[in-house]
Amino acid sequence: MIDFADDEQPLLPAPPRTVRDTGLEPAMLAELAGKALLGAGKCHLSVLTSRLRLSINVLREVLDGLQGEQLVEVAWRGDSDIDVQYQLTGIGRQRAAEWLDRAPYVGAAPVPLDAWRAQLQRQALQLPPVLASDVASVFADDCLPPRIHELVGAAMHAGRAVCLYGPSGSGKTTLARKLGRLLQGAVAVPHAVAVGSAIIQLYDPAVHLAPPPLPGRPASARNGDMRWLLCQRPVVQLGAELEGAMLDLRHDAAGGCFLAPPQLKACHGLLIIDDLGRQRLPATTLLNRLAQLLDSGTDRLALPGGHAFSVPCQATLAFATNLAPQTLLDGAALRRIGYKVALGPLPEASYRSLLRQQCRARGIDADEAALAYLVGELHQGSGQPLLASLPREIVARVAEFAGYAGTVPNLNPATLDQAWSSMFADGAV
């Protein structure tokens, strides 16, 4: 059973008290404990608990069973019941070596596939929706037109896919990353999932970040099944490196497990596919692979031998491309992407505001005459549109040239000309 705090942030599932409560076969737990002891030699009960992410009660039941088979023995015992060290017997070392050779995975005990499915479904009902107030807070200083905020806000509220398209430098990737900040609440993520005898490693420390402390609630209040971690809603970003095989389970021979594809790591979060159309597989093929996720919020995967299974995979998808969507995707694929959002040059007032923000961030005086020169002379004179990415680049280069020269950075026609000439290839040699 899942408990929830007063603010409806999900806590971890309750810790299992018995081997049966884990939902795993006793043989799997015995092998995990034996392999952990094989690598550790003498090992304290508390250390084994941490490595296998199992409660002391469960681990004791597992170790008692191994003792009964004369595979494990007590190496040292202290004054308390939990102050005890275990080690493998000679027969136990031989058996554990066979287990390790057959299945090299050594790590956290997994959760059963059905338990993960059930948790995903429960979380889907508990997570707060994106509201207009969230959009106003997250995008307060981005200077984008209100229509952009309304479109992406509605898409995120509905959990529907969004395609951000426009010229390079129009702020598509930056906007896509900001969408992740709209996702409130926390989710329970398992270290690993068991599908039959196969183990899928799901937790990724680069993706699954710890949530901020709950107000008025100590960290100890989050205690639960140690096979799960409480995480921020994940954001996973893929780019031109994406290949079709990356969306399937990948076997890690050294680790003895399968690695979860990015769409599973992004469950109840955001999956960003940047540079759509630059991947090795055609955009329509990619959308067809993700069709089930887009249509029903599920994904179907297969293990070697043909065993296939489905999981709820309610990740919101955000695509970004500088190509026209209708040239990349057929009609069916376009319909699967609920919202199409065009980004282009900023209005002059928004561009100036964004430039002032960048100047304030670097402690540079935003001289209005210099801003007028940038817009009226450099942009209009070259035909370079007022793109959202340019203020940061221009101000950064003004600061870099000043730092190199040992002077105080200053925005004026000379420093702007210097920064401008370093950014654009005009064909001069």
pLDDT tens digits, one per residue of 161-178 = 999 999 999 999 999 999
Predicted local confidence at residue 215, as pLDDT: 60
The terminus-to-terminus CA distance of the chain in angstroms comes to 70
pTM of the full predicted structure?
Answer: 0.91
- Name every residue whose Cβ is closer than 8 Å to that of residue 344 and which is 6 or more positions away in sequence: 166, 167, 170, 385
CA 305 to chain CA mean position, Å = 29
Amino acid 6: pLDDT:
42
Sign of the alpha-carbon torsion through 340, 346, 347, 352: positive
Write phi, then psi, for 283 (nearest 5 degrees).
-60, -40
Mean pLDDT of 51-65: 96
pLDDT at 82: 86
Q: What is the pLDDT of residue 105?
A: 97
- Predicted confidence band of residue 3 (pLDDT cuts 50, 70, 90): very low
Alpha-carbon distance of 66 to 62, in angstroms, equals: 6
Residue 12: which pLDDT band, with cuts at 50, 70 and 90? confident
pLDDT at 304: 86
Nearest CA among 293, 233, 57, 143 for reference residue 48: 57
Angle of CA points 376, 380, 382, to nearest 5°: 130
Contact 385, 402 (CB under 8 A): no
To the question of domain 348-423 being in CATH 1.20.1740, the answer is no
Could you tell me how many residues make up the chain? 429
% of residues, the chain, pLDDT over 90: 86
The CATH number given to 25-109 is 1.10.10.10
pLDDT in tens, 116-153: 999 999 999 989 999 999 999 999 988 899 999 999 99
DSSP state, residue 180:
G
Q: Any residues with CB less than 8 A from the CB of 1 and at least 6 apart, and which?
A: 13, 14
**Tokens matching residue 272:** 């960003």
DSSP type of residue 315: P
| Mean pLDDT within 176-197 | 96
Q: Which of 149-163, 189-203, 280-294, 415-429 has the lowest mean pLDDT?
A: 415-429
C-alpha distances in Å from residue 365, one per residue of 53, 250, 352, 378: 54, 52, 13, 19
Q: What does the pLDDT read at residue 101?
A: 95
Decide: 304 and 251 in contact? Cβ < 8 Å. Answer: yes
Q: Tens digits of per-residue pLDDT, 66-75?
A: 999 999 999 9
Q: Note whether 209 and 231 are within 8 A (CB).
A: yes
pLDDT, position 426: 63
Average pLDDT over residues 9-18: 81
Domain assignments of the chain as residue spans, ordered by start: 25-109, 112-342, 348-423
What one-letter code names the amino acid at 348?
E
CATH architecture assigned to 112-342: 3-Layer(aba) Sandwich (3.40)
Mean per-residue pLDDT for 169-192? 95
Kindly indicate the confidence band of residue 8, based on its pLDDT and cuts at 50, 70 and 90. Answer: very low
The pLDDT score that the predictor gives to residue 427 is 46
Please give the mean pLDDT across all residues of the chain: 92
Instruction: Encode pLDDT of 309-355 as tens digits.
Output: 999 988 999 999 999 999 999 999 999 999 999 999 999 999 999 99
Question: Maximum distance among all alpha carbons in the chain?
Answer: 85
Instruction: Name the least confident of 86-100, 212-226, 267-281.
Output: 212-226
pLDDT at 314: 86
The whole-number pLDDT of residue 411 equals 95
Give the pLDDT of residue 223.
75
Q: What is d(CA 189, CA 12) in angstroms, rounded to the nearest whole number?
A: 9
